[in-house]
Amino acid sequence: MNIIDLKKVVYEYFRRDDEGNVTGITTAVDHVDLSVKPGDFIAILGHNGSGKSTLAKHLNAILYPSEGTVWVDGMDTTEEDKLMQIRQTTGMVFQNPDNQIIAQIVEEDVGFGPENLGVPTKKIWERVEESLKAVGMYEFRKKSPNRLSGGQKQRVSIAGVLAMHPKCIVLDEPTAMLDPAGRREVIRAARALNDVEKITVILITHYMEEVIYADHVYVMDHGSVKMEGSPREVFSRVDELSALHLTVPQVTLLADRLKKSGLPIKSGILTRDELTAELVRIKSGR
Amino acid sequence: MSIIIDHLTHEYETGTAMAVKAISDVSLQIPDGQFVGLIGHTGSGKSSLIQHLNGLLKPTSGTVYVGGEDIFDKDYDKKKLRSRVGLVFQYPEHQLFEADVFTDVCFGPKNLGLEQKEVELRAYDALKKVGLEDDAFYVSPFDLSGGQKRRVAIAGVLAMKPEVLILDEPTAGLDPAGREEILGLIAGMQKETGMTIILVSHSMEDVANYVDRIIVMNKGSVMLDGSPKEVFSHVEQLEEAGLAAPEACYIMRDLQKAGFDLPGDVTRIEEAADAILNVFGSGV
Amino acid sequence: MIREITIGQYYQTDSVLHRLDPRVKLIFVILYIVSIFLYRKPLPFLLAALFLALCVGLSKVPFSYIVRGLKAVVVLMLFTAVFNLFLTPGETLVAWGGLKITKEGALIAAFMAARLVLLIISSSLMTLTTTPTQLTDAMEKLLWPLQKIHLPVHEVAMMMSIALRFIPILLEETDKIMKAQMARGADFESGNLLRRLKAMVPILVPLFISAFRRANDLAMAMEARCYQGGEGRTKMKPLRYKGADTVAYLILMVYLAAVIAVGKLT
């Protein structure tokens, strides 16, 4: 069974003027079909305003579809009595590191979710410890979040979700406000969750370098899925991506240029090692 | 307008046990019309440094000369300084506050005490410079898209007609298209007007593609200073400072290790492509 | 300037006071403050000062750090002292022009200033040794009976703890917005009161917008983490009295008795 299934999901909202009169309808998500297998690492790409964040908020019932259905682990997200179960199944990490940490001590923040779920005190401590260790923040457990870097704060947020024992974690542009070092930290933590803890990860981003390890990539534009496939498949379509206001990783861009200039390079190069190997192959073939 | 930073040191919580040196003994000269990239990881002192350049922070010791004048001299007119050195903060759209875009951009020039007509003329010019369409002039700034808001905020500083423009992470949080748009705008303006621009960034690709000179800060001091090619040749040092060279440098290094005879000073993808094609000969 | 206020901040270390149940500390401080206002006599006051000095010693918070918090209220202290010094009728000590300092005035001024110092040190000692979360937990627990008459005790406690978490963030943000507007030539320091008030608009509007955006984000993040009010919640750090807390209550009782005894007898 799929952990997440979206069938023809549409999300519309009314635009209103200052007096509250409706001036139009915006379709933020437009007939999206999407399915995620347990244990997958999925990436959703798109420029700002492409609808990817709105879509993400459907995955743990913060928003409900105007049309179509969202299933989370077999539960329809519009079923009200399943709300808490759904939110526990798919945890969510948001963009702004400051605006999602509730407590003033790292460990207390990680304990917030389990407290809400009514987990017994002793078990909360166990969960907090294992979650903080999983993201490498255990030694910071007594610190104030205000003293942490952006990347560290995001890792605390990931631990906070992890402590709720979710099956799936949705990361909604977790790196958009971070510097390069912070971005690397967060992506490393997300990949570890997927590799080690076998948790399904859905990463929403506009940084291309972050998705090359994903199992499957969806590219969104104007609320609908415009491209999908493995990173290799998607990134081999350089021109299509740039038409969607996205760029490919620098290595892929270089490989694409070389290919267009006549070098017989295979398409969909994602890493430096691949490019080097490919160029060595061509050189020795001459 | 040239800037001279003379043995500048800035300490927080001076005199207490918690004194932290945000900047320690930095001396730099930035000639008129130069396009400078200032790089450093969070907490390297780059943000504190630029806040001294228009007098928002006062140095613990040392001083800054703008156009030959000591800006921390007690007789120096701060208002004149603010009109000479424009500073665009990180996420500048968070300072917008007026009911419409045009009035917001008027805020800066109005504070300079100019006549209403001149104020409006400058606001109009500035909004045109950042490429905002006329029909967006009188809408609420909060109804604009993220990229548009940022351009309006930049216009708010441009309207003060500064001779030096400093931008702190102007592309933070934008998607690739938005980043290119803003950087293209800044580079275009620099070419056209020849103004001195200091671009603060931690994105190496951004900086490598546009600037004449790169200054790398680490732990409050200048670690590297030179042309992009010079600076990016110190990959190990950059990595020690929590930074990285542009991807193109790493690709070239890998290929050199694999036995390709390639130049060592490539910083941009276009150059890398040309260099590689060169190795394979024009017969391809 | 803003950074120097230590009231309401937590000082991380490990001491007897840090480990006490926050309810003990809350009740302790309230009764202690009552005790310094009970008598206007030197002996009980001396006792109170000695007792507080003992507590400060036990807390392992450096005295210089506590004193830094006092600086912020020096103006208030001076104001009350001067007020009492000149406006209390009684036996004249010094007089020049229309102003005179009376013996009673001098005494009251000295007492008021000293009381304020004790009040501030004692209450900052509580916040320095208690995390805001513990403090709000203590209030929630102590005010729990009010829940019976449908007062939203849990919600208020949660609001306070969130407010405390966001104060430093918003202060930093205010600083940033102020600087940004100053870079656009804004002037917050000259002109009359009305002009200065008007000059605050470019700070307040962005600050409010940001506060609302943060509130919105936070509400969403809390919901996403299954928060739905106090009902059915468990606690990671439930409040439980331990041996040391009982001892602390006993010490408090002894102290109060001593103050009253000394106050009555002298």
From the list C133, C169, C217, which residue is nearest A100 (CB)? Answer: C217
Distance (Å, rounded) from C-alpha B178 to C-alpha A49?
A: 11
Residue B99 C-beta-side C-alpha neighbours within 13 Å: 1
pLDDT over threshold 50, residue B284: no
Distance (Å, rounded) from C-alpha B146 to C-alpha B143?
A: 9
CATH number at residue A32: 3.40.50.300
> Considering only alpha carbons, which residue of chain B is nearest residue C68?
B16
Q: If pLDDT is split at 50, 70 and 90, which confidence band does A186 have?
A: very high
Which residues of chain B lie closer than 8 angstroms to A254, CB-CB?
Answer: 248, 251, 269, 272-273, 276
Residue reference for tokens 């979206």: A6
Res C1: pLDDT? 38
pLDDT over threshold 70, residue A68: yes
Distance (Å, rounded) from C-alpha B104 to C-alpha B98?
A: 5
Distance (Å, rounded) from C-alpha A68 to C-alpha A35?
A: 14
Going by C-beta distance under 8 Å and a sequence separation of 6 or more, which residues neighbour residue A194? A39, A41, A200, A201
Q: Is residue A26 part of a domain?
A: yes
The nearest CA of chain A is from the CA of B55 a distance in Å of 26
From the list A181, A250, A283, which residue is nearest B247 (CB)? Answer: A250
Which residues of chain A lie closer than 8 angstroms to C213, CB-CB?
Answer: 99
> Considering only alpha carbons, which residue of chain A is nearest residue B280?
A283
Res A158: pLDDT? 96
Q: What's the rounded mean pLDDT across residues B211-231?
A: 92
Task: Look at residues A187, B256, B283, B216 and name the one whose alpha carbon lies nearest to residue B248.
Answer: B256
DSSP structure string for C33-102:
HHHHHH--SHHHHHHHHHHHHHHHHHHT--HHHHHHHHHTTHHHHHHHHHHHHHH--SSEEEEETTEEEE
Q: What's the rounded mean pLDDT across residues B162-179?
A: 90
Contacts of C among chains (3+ CB pairs under 8 A): A, B
Is the Cα dihedral C262, C263, C264, C265 positive or negative? Answer: positive
Res A154: pLDDT? 96
In this structure, of A178-182, B94-98, C254-258, the range with the lowest mean pLDDT score is: A178-182
B142 close contact with C: CB closer than 8 A = yes
> Considering only alpha carbons, which residue of chain B is nearest residue C186?
B111
Are A81 and C143 in contact by the 8 Å Cβ rule? The answer is no
Are C236 and C17 in contact by the 8 Å Cβ rule? The answer is no
From the list A87, A94, A105, which residue is nearest C226 (CB)? Answer: A87
B195 close contact with A: CB closer than 8 A = no
Are A91 and A110 in contact by the 8 Å Cβ rule? The answer is no
Reading across the β-sheet that carries B35-39, which strands appear in turn? B85-88, B164-168, B196-201, B35-39, B213-218, B221-226
Res C6: pLDDT? 55
C167 close contact with A: CB closer than 8 A = no
Structure tokens at A275: 């490019």
**Chain centroid, CA B159 distance in Å:** 17
Are A136 and A155 in contact by the 8 Å Cβ rule? The answer is yes
Helices (H), A70-201: 83-89, 106-117, 121-134, 150-162, 180-195
Distance (Å, rounded) from C-alpha B125 to C-alpha B131?
A: 10
The nearest CA of chain C is from the CA of B215 a distance in Å of 23
Which residues of chain C lie closer than 8 angstroms to B109, CB-CB?
Answer: 185
Which residues of chain B lie closer than 8 angstroms to C210, CB-CB?
Answer: 94
The nearest CA of chain B is from the CA of C94 a distance in Å of 39
3 state SS of B233? coil
| Subunit contact B254:A249, Cβ cutoff 8 A | no
Which residues of chain B lie closer than 8 angstroms to A263, CB-CB?
Answer: 276-277, 280, 284
pLDDT digits (tens, 9 = 90+) for C130-180: 887 788 889 888 988 888 888 888 888 888 888 888 888 898 899 999 999
Please give the residue that has the higher pLDDT: either C198 or A124: A124
Distance (Å, rounded) from C-alpha C84 to C-alpha C89?
A: 9
Q: If pLDDT is split at 50, 70 and 90, which confidence band does B242 have?
A: confident
pLDDT over threshold 50, residue C2: no
- Give chain A's mean pLDDT: 92
| Subunit contact A118:C232, Cβ cutoff 8 A | yes
Domain borders along chain C are 2-130+240-265, 145-224
Distance (Å, rounded) from C-alpha B223 to C-alpha B25?
A: 12
Distance (Å, rounded) from C-alpha B266 to C-alpha A258?
A: 16
A187 close contact with C: CB closer than 8 A = no
Q: Is residue A56 part of a domain?
A: yes
Are B123 and B137 in contact by the 8 Å Cβ rule? The answer is no
Q: Could you give the angle at the alpha carbon of B42 between the alpha carbons of C132 and A47, nearest 5°?
A: 95
From the list C3, C182, C205, which residue is nearest B56 (CB)? Answer: C182
B239 close contact with A: CB closer than 8 A = no
A146 close contact with C: CB closer than 8 A = yes
In this structure, of A89-103, A134-148, B73-87, C100-114, the range with the lowest mean pLDDT score is: C100-114
Distance (Å, rounded) from C-alpha B163 to C-alpha A150?
A: 34
Helices (H), chain B: 46-53, 78-84, 101-111, 116-129, 146-158, 176-193, 204-210, 228-232, 235-240, 247-257, 269-279
pLDDT digits (tens, 9 = 90+) for A238-283: 899 988 888 888 899 999 999 998 889 988 889 999 999 999 998 8
pLDDT over threshold 70, residue C4: no
From the list C187, C201, C210, which residue is nearest B94 (CB)? Answer: C210
Helices (H), chain C: 16-19, 22-38, 42-59, 63-71, 74-87, 103-129, 132-142, 153-183, 193-199, 201-224, 243-265
C179 close contact with B: CB closer than 8 A = yes
Distance (Å, rounded) from C-alpha A13 to C-alpha A257?
A: 42
The nearest CA of chain B is from the CA of A112 a distance in Å of 28
| Subunit contact A115:C238, Cβ cutoff 8 A | no
Q: Is residue A247 part of a domain?
A: no
| Subunit contact B175:A47, Cβ cutoff 8 A | yes
The nearest CA of chain C is from the CA of B150 a distance in Å of 14
From the list C223, C225, C232, which residue is nearest A164 (CB)? Answer: C225
Please give the residue that has the higher pLDDT: either A255 or B283: A255
pLDDT over threshold 90, residue B20: no
Going by C-beta distance under 8 Å and a sequence separation of 6 or more, which residues neighbour residue B255? A275, A276, A279, B262, B276
| Subunit contact A164:C226, Cβ cutoff 8 A | yes
**C100: which strand partners?**
C95
- Provide the residue range defining the domain that includes A104: 4-231
Please give the residue that has the higher pLDDT: either B246 or A202: A202
From the list C12, C221, C234, which residue is nearest A142 (CB)? Answer: C12
| Subunit contact A161:C225, Cβ cutoff 8 A | yes
DSSP A266: P
Give this complex's ipTM: 0.89
- Domains of chain B are 3-227 (3.40.50.300)
> Considering only alpha carbons, which residue of chain B is nearest residue A151?
B42
Q: Is residue A237 part of a domain?
A: no
pLDDT digits (tens, 9 = 90+) for C58-113: 999 888 888 877 776 777 777 777 777 777 777 777 777 777 777 778 888 888 88
Query: Burial letters for C172-211: b for 16+ Cβ neighbours within 10 Å, e otherwise?
Result: ebbebbbbbbbbbbbeeeeeeeeeeeebeebbebbbeebe
Structure tokens at B31: 């000639």
Distance (Å, rounded) from C-alpha C262 to C-alpha A273?
A: 84
| Subunit contact C233:A118, Cβ cutoff 8 A | yes
Residue A139: CB atoms within 10 A of its CB come to: 10
DSSP C144: G
DSSP B96: -
Contacts of A among chains (3+ CB pairs under 8 A): B, C
pLDDT digits (tens, 9 = 90+) for C197-238: 888 899 999 999 999 999 999 999 999 999 988 888 898 888
In this structure, of B7-21, B158-172, B178-192, C47-61, the range with the lowest mean pLDDT score is: B7-21
Distance (Å, rounded) from C-alpha B108 to C-alpha B103?
A: 10
C2 close contact with B: CB closer than 8 A = no
What amino acid occupies position C164?
A: L
Mutation to test the C interface, candidates A93, A104, A132, most C Cβ within 10 Å? A104
What amino acid occupies position A98?
A: D
Res C84: pLDDT? 77
C80 close contact with B: CB closer than 8 A = no
3 state SS of B39? strand
Res C190: pLDDT? 77
Which residues of chain C lie closer than 8 angstroms to B156, CB-CB?
Answer: 184
Q: What's the rounded mean pLDDT across residues B243-260?
A: 89
Size of interface B-C (CB pairs under 8 A): 57
| Subunit contact A84:C224, Cβ cutoff 8 A | no
In this structure, of B47-51, C25-29, C158-162, the range with the lowest mean pLDDT score is: C158-162
Res C7: pLDDT? 57
Q: If pLDDT is split at 50, 70 and 90, which confidence band does C11 have?
A: confident
Residue C67 C-beta-side C-alpha neighbours within 13 Å: 5
Which residues of chain A lie closer than 8 angstroms to C13, CB-CB?
Answer: none
Domain count, chain A: 1
